[in-house]
Chain A
Amino acid sequence: MIVGLPGTGIGGMFYLLSALALPLREAIGRVRDRGHSVGWRVVARQTAIAGGILVGIWVTGLLLGAVLGTVRSHMAPGTGPHEGNAVRTAMLVLSFGTLAVVLFGVELLRLCLHRRTRLVTPIEPGSAAETQWPTERKVAVVGGGRGQGRGLILLVLLEIGTAAHPRTAVSQHGSVAAAGLARADSVFAAGDAKAAALAYAAVLAADPQNSRATYRLADLRRRDPKEALRLFQRYVALEPSDPWGYLAVADMLARLGRYHEAMQESDTALRLAPNERDAVMGRARVLVRAGRTDAAVVAYRQWLATHDRDPEAWREIARELVRAGRPGDAAHALERAQSQAFDPDVARRLAAVRAAAAPAFTPVVRGSRDSDGNTTLRLGGSAELSARGPTRMGITASREQVGDGFTTTGLDAVAVNATWRPRASLKVEAAAGAARFDGAGGSSATMVPTGAVRARWRAPARGPAFDLRAERSVIDASPLLVTNRVVRSELRGIVELPVAGGLKLRALGRAAALSDSAEVNHRTSFAGVVAFAATPSIEVSGQVHQLRYAHSSSAGYFAPRFAQIVEAGTYVEFEAGSVLCALDAGAGVQRVAAHGAHVGPWRRALRLYALIAVPLSPGLDLRLELDGEDSQIANETVTSGQWRYGSAMLSLRWALP
């Protein structure tokens, strides 16, 4: 087969230059003692042919010039014969230029496609790979460009230097790639991931289309999701019918937070292998990473409907059911997993989940003291019924003593609670009860109905969130407040919008009516928060709060006309062993304007909340909460204009077997 336009085209020019360069190549080859040599006789013959062709070209040009000159002089007497020279020169330059561009393009393409893989190839002294680096540098020099003609000559010289170079050739051959692949596989099987990655990279340097090496290398680089994604995508391009490639791409995309693309890749994998476990489970796992807990549960359930003897699937759905607030169902799933393949770690998880689902009793003791000398002590407890499905019921009761060093009073509270979590993203809590104020100063005890409804919704995949609450409760921070039967009825809403990455905006609005036996006061407050979640358990924020009271009050709470708070806050949650710690702290400034007075100066405002949860044994959890404020106007229970406050609460949740 003869390809192209034999004789003409840039092919002719290429072989002409190649032939003219043969003596040089042969000389270099003999100096370097290369194995392949065609001998001076052949070289001389080919060079002579090339010389003959040059003479032929020259004669052709001469004849062409003469013909054109003659034609021209006949048609337009007086014009010179020089146009023939111009045409010949233009043709020559065009041919050389085109050849140079094509050859340069090939070298550029080679550098683009093969350089990256070579960069990761281990280079041994004197190895074939080592000899390739100077080649690339030479091409880079050519790329620097001092004219196409010169570049062309350099390219041809480069080819002379590299063509048929045995060491270079050996580095590129497929059987070496095959042998390299076998070596890489054995290193991989031996568990040496670092050496295996180098070995697979070497295989790819020799054979960039080796799909097996591509997949393995990607697999070994999962810790670098971007690089792994690039390699897995390349694998998919090489093996477009392999669903596992799409699954791996989906996994990497999910790790990078590109959930929509990840789902598309998962769907492709599922289309290619609809009944394949890895495809179904892979899709479910992408849903998990995307935070789409409900969809993930559905995906796992679909698989388990026909493959109920898959302990891994049971374990994974159990984890999602816990996230969805369904410990009862999670316990059932883990029991199924354990019945098929016992795992001690899973046994511990099962015990914890059973405890979370079991009926429980939680005694609580809470005490507080503020800078005005008010103290409170609450003793109480709650009982939860067994969690079945999305609903959980319970009851709370407490007795609280409130004193200020001179007066002591108290109140009792009881409420029935219900929690309904139909979906992972939606949680509704409701409570209904009553508070009974002790009689004071000859008056009889008073009963006040209380209650609360709260709905929380958070979109999957860390989307926007809403928190709405309606509440009626008593204010019990001081004996005066209890005596005056101050009751707060409040509507509260929080909207959270993710912006980009971990950045989110939060807006809070509250409207409350504070009523007592003598009057009703109204308070409104707004807040804006810019928060950045560095990780799901670490958040920093900047907050601005503003609140207003309709009028001042003599019922026992501090009701300024206007108050502003600017603070920086942080929330950190971490686990030390099995102990969970959470810290919510804020530091800033605030200013207050009392009714009928000017706005006061900015003063410091500090707050701290800490939680420590210690699991003592399966089903027995100790919980300690600490709260402190140093603030002019921390919250509605502030009893004076300069206020400090501290409280501690200890509870022990005891799950009944």
Chain B
Amino acid sequence: MTVIVPAYNEAPSVGDTIRSLLGQTVPPHEIIVIDDCSTDGTGAVARALGVRVVRPASNTGSKAGAQTFGLRYVRTPLTVAIDADTVLAPDALERLLPAFDRPAVAAACGFVLPQRVRTLWERGRYIEYLFAFTFYKQVQECYGKPLISSGCFSMYRTAQLRAQGGWSSRTLAEDMDLTWSLYQGGHEVRFVPEAVCYPIEPRTFTLMATQLRRWSHGFVQNVKLHWRGLLTVPYLRSAVAVSFWDATVAAALYLVLLPILALLFASPWVLLGYVIDAPAVLVPVVAGAIRRGELRRALASVPAFFVLRTVNALFFLRAVGAELLLGRSLRVYEKGH
């Protein structure tokens, strides 16, 4: 396999990423860092660690552009794409490889957990990932339809990747776009929970807002782009439909209805609705945390999850309004972290 690492001004983190790749139990054939015209010496850091660094003539404008640029240098049957701020568990690549024993599998992704869990936003994301990757994504995998092969760390069959034209910049969520395109192309995508990666998550609200804006708009753009094709993919169509419902109608009710009801009935008890599902959320979170020996950290982080969830709902609602109602599609790729 060949690992491609798109990087724009990632000098502080790209070294850890490369070192984690070099320390894999099954080392890749080649590591290629795409230095997307960084100005902070990212290329030099990478080069110093002995990996190949390629640099486009000008900034490609997005992670998808840089990854697709890097794809032309890949000569192996499998391609791994990893963010320049993500480190892998030592056996992550080894764990992913068996997924490709099935010829129909075109992509596989692993379990994602934040590298750092300190701030409110990092903690919220930690619980979100713990919950989603322990329960949602695992159920999706059981049905053979993981919703997204995560952009921060995924392995692809190179031929299928090339057949798709690499990663497209037509949406701001290139990983979702690629995953859904692969499904519509009849390919399989796998989720391997044993292959763990650790990206750096936004530590401030500003960074989190940038990332959520990109993700929320990317999701709506992908729904707009793929909805007809998704209707032909069993289970995925339902998963996307309920996600879209929750991102739109449910989010609106969640953000608007509960306060209105609280005012209407003059009862603060109604606001319990924001955390009413806490026991239900806790079950998979605790299950996942126990397996990783992180129960205390998880329990301490649970309140942050509800804050992030509310903010998340706000951004998705705004994205739906902008993309679908106002026709203002977000096209500028902003780096969140």
Query: Which residues does A use to contact B, with CB under 8 Å?
Result: 1-12, 14-15, 18-19, 22, 25-26, 35-36, 38, 42-43, 45-46, 49, 52-53, 55-57, 59-60, 64, 67-68, 71, 98-99, 102-103, 105-106, 109-110, 113-114, 155, 159-160, 162-166, 168-176, 206-209
- Chain A proximity mask over B100-130: 1 for CB below 8 Å, otherwise 0: 0010100000000000000000000000110
Q: A2-B128, A49-B284, A53-B283 are in contact. List 4 more A-B contacts (CB 8 A).
A: A1-B150, A3-B246, A19-B139, A67-B272
- B interface size (C-beta, 8 A): 70
Q: Which residues of A contact B312 (CB under 8 A)?
A: 2, 5
Compute how far the CA of A345 lies from the CA of B218 in the bound complex, rounded to whole angstroms: 61
Compute how far the CA of A496 lies from the CA of B304 in the bound complex, rounded to whole angstroms: 82
Compute how far the CA of A105 lies from the CA of B244 in the bound complex, rounded to whole angstroms: 13
In the A-B complex, the 4 residue pairs with the closest CB atoms? A173-B186, A164-B144, A4-B246, A56-B279
Enumerate B290-310 residues with CB–CB distance to A below 8 Å: 305, 309
Are B231 and A6 in contact, CB atoms less than 8 angstroms apart?
A: no
B60 near A: Cβ within 8 Å?
no
Compute how far the CA of A198 lies from the CA of B4 in the bound complex, rounded to whole angstroms: 43
Are A49 and B131 in contact, CB atoms less than 8 angstroms apart?
A: no
Q: Which residues of B contact A6 (CB under 8 A)?
A: 128, 131-132, 136, 281, 309
Which of B163, B215, B228 has the most A CB atoms < 10 Å from its CB?
A: B228
Interface secondary structure of B, over-half rule: helix
Are A114 and B231 in contact, CB atoms less than 8 angstroms apart?
A: yes
Chain A nearest Cβ from B102, distance in angstroms:
7
Compute how far the CA of A367 lies from the CA of B251 in the bound complex, rounded to whole angstroms: 94
Compute how far the CA of A14 lies from the CA of B183 in the bound complex, rounded to whole angstroms: 20
Chain A nearest Cβ from B249, distance in angstroms:
8
Name B102's closest neighbour in chain A (CB-CB): A35
Are B231 and A110 in contact, CB atoms less than 8 angstroms apart?
A: yes
Interface secondary structure of A, over-half rule: helix
Could you write out 29 A-B pairs with CB less than 8 Å apart? A2-B128, A2-B129, A3-B147, A3-B246, A4-B250, A4-B251, A4-B316, A6-B136, A7-B277, A9-B245, A11-B250, A12-B280, A19-B135, A19-B142, A43-B142, A46-B142, A60-B280, A64-B276, A99-B242, A102-B242, A106-B238, A109-B231, A110-B237, A162-B235, A164-B188, A169-B186, A207-B229, A209-B228, A209-B229
Q: Which residues of B contact A103 (CB under 8 A)?
A: 238, 241-242
Are A59 and B279 in contact, CB atoms less than 8 angstroms apart?
A: yes
Compute how far the CA of A68 lies from the CA of B270 in the bound complex, rounded to whole angstroms: 10
Q: Which residues of B contact A14 (CB under 8 A)?
A: 238-239, 242
Chain A nearest Cβ from B227, distance in angstroms:
9
Name A7's closest neighbour in chain B (CB-CB): B281
Compute how far the CA of A98 lies from the CA of B248 in the bound complex, rounded to whole angstroms: 13
Compute how far the CA of A305 lies from the CA of B148 in the bound complex, rounded to whole angstroms: 59
Q: Which of B129, B136, B163, B250 contacts A15 (CB 8 A)?
A: B136
Q: Which of B145, B187, B215, B254 contacts A8 (CB 8 A)?
A: B254
Name B250's closest neighbour in chain A (CB-CB): A9
Q: Which residues of A contact B229 (CB under 8 A)?
A: 174, 207-209
Are A22 and B246 in contact, CB atoms less than 8 angstroms apart?
A: no
Name A112's closest neighbour in chain B (CB-CB): B231
Q: Which of B148, B163, B181, B283 contacts A52 (CB 8 A)?
A: B283
Compute how far the CA of A19 lies from the CA of B143 in the bound complex, rounded to whole angstroms: 10
Chain A nearest Cβ from B297, distance in angstroms:
18
* Contact A7 B280, CB 8 Å, known A2-B312, A106-B237, A209-B229: yes
Q: Which residues of A contact B13 (CB under 8 A)?
A: none
Q: Which residues of B contact A169 (CB under 8 A)?
A: 104, 183, 186, 188, 233-234
Compute how far the CA of A102 lies from the CA of B186 in the bound complex, rounded to whole angstroms: 25
* Contact A64 B272, CB 8 Å, known A46-B142, A53-B280, A113-B231: yes
Are B242 and A60 in contact, CB atoms less than 8 angstroms apart?
A: no
Compute how far the CA of A57 lies from the CA of B280 in the bound complex, rounded to whole angstroms: 6
Are A3 and B243 in contact, CB atoms less than 8 angstroms apart?
A: yes
Compute how far the CA of A174 lies from the CA of B272 in the bound complex, rounded to whole angstroms: 47
Are A7 and B147 in contact, CB atoms less than 8 angstroms apart?
A: no
Q: Which of B187, B234, B247, B316 contacts A159 (CB 8 A)?
A: B234
- Chain A proximity mask over B19-42: 1 for CB below 8 Å, otherwise 0: 000000000000000000000000
Q: Which residues of B contact A176 (CB under 8 A)?
A: 185-186
Compute how far the CA of A166 lies from the CA of B188 in the bound complex, rounded to whole angstroms: 9
Q: Which residues of A contact B145 (CB under 8 A)?
A: 163-164
Are B141 and A38 in contact, CB atoms less than 8 angstroms apart?
A: yes
Name A109's closest neighbour in chain B (CB-CB): B231
Q: Which residues of B contact A22 (CB under 8 A)?
A: 139, 142
Are A9 and B141 in contact, CB atoms less than 8 angstroms apart?
A: no
Q: Which of A10, A26, A155, A162 contacts B246 (CB 8 A)?
A: A10
Compute how far the CA of A11 lies from the CA of B254 in the bound complex, rounded to whole angstroms: 13
Q: Which of A5, A56, A162, A175 contacts B283 (CB 8 A)?
A: A56
Q: Which of B147, B184, B245 contacts A174 (CB 8 A)?
A: B184
Name A98's closest neighbour in chain B (CB-CB): B245
Are A46 and B184 in contact, CB atoms less than 8 angstroms apart?
A: no
B93 near A: Cβ within 8 Å?
no
Name A48's closest neighbour in chain B (CB-CB): B287
Compute how far the CA of A116 lies from the CA of B218 in the bound complex, rounded to whole angstroms: 31
Q: Which residues of A contact B242 (CB under 8 A)?
A: 4, 9-11, 14, 99, 102-103
B96 near A: Cβ within 8 Å?
no
Name B193's closest neighbour in chain A (CB-CB): A42
Are A175 and B186 in contact, CB atoms less than 8 angstroms apart?
A: yes
* Contact A36 B188, CB 8 Å, known A1-B218, A6-B131, A14-B238: yes
Are A5 and B313 in contact, CB atoms less than 8 angstroms apart?
A: yes
Q: Which of A7, A67, A166 contacts B131 (CB 8 A)?
A: A7
Q: Which residues of B contact A114 (CB under 8 A)?
A: 231-232
Q: Which residues of B contact A68 (CB under 8 A)?
A: 269
B282 near A: Cβ within 8 Å?
yes
Q: Which of B181, B231, B309 contacts A7 (CB 8 A)?
A: B309
Q: Which residues of A contact B148 (CB under 8 A)?
A: 1
Are B280 and A105 in contact, CB atoms less than 8 angstroms apart?
A: no
Q: Which residues of A contact B132 (CB under 8 A)?
A: 2, 6
B134 near A: Cβ within 8 Å?
yes
Q: Which residues of A contact B135 (CB under 8 A)?
A: 15, 19, 46, 49, 53
- Chain A proximity mask over B151-185: 1 for CB below 8 Å, otherwise 0: 00000000000010000000001011000010111
Q: Which residues of B contact A9 (CB under 8 A)?
A: 242, 245-246, 250-251, 254
Compute how far the CA of A206 lies from the CA of B136 in the bound complex, rounded to whole angstroms: 28
B8 near A: Cβ within 8 Å?
no
Which of A171, A174, A209 has the most B CB atoms < 10 Å from its CB?
A: A174
Q: Which of A35, A49, A67, A163 contacts B269 (CB 8 A)?
A: A67
Chain B nearest Cβ from A129, distance in angstroms:
11
Q: Which residues of B contact A53 (CB under 8 A)?
A: 135, 280, 283-284
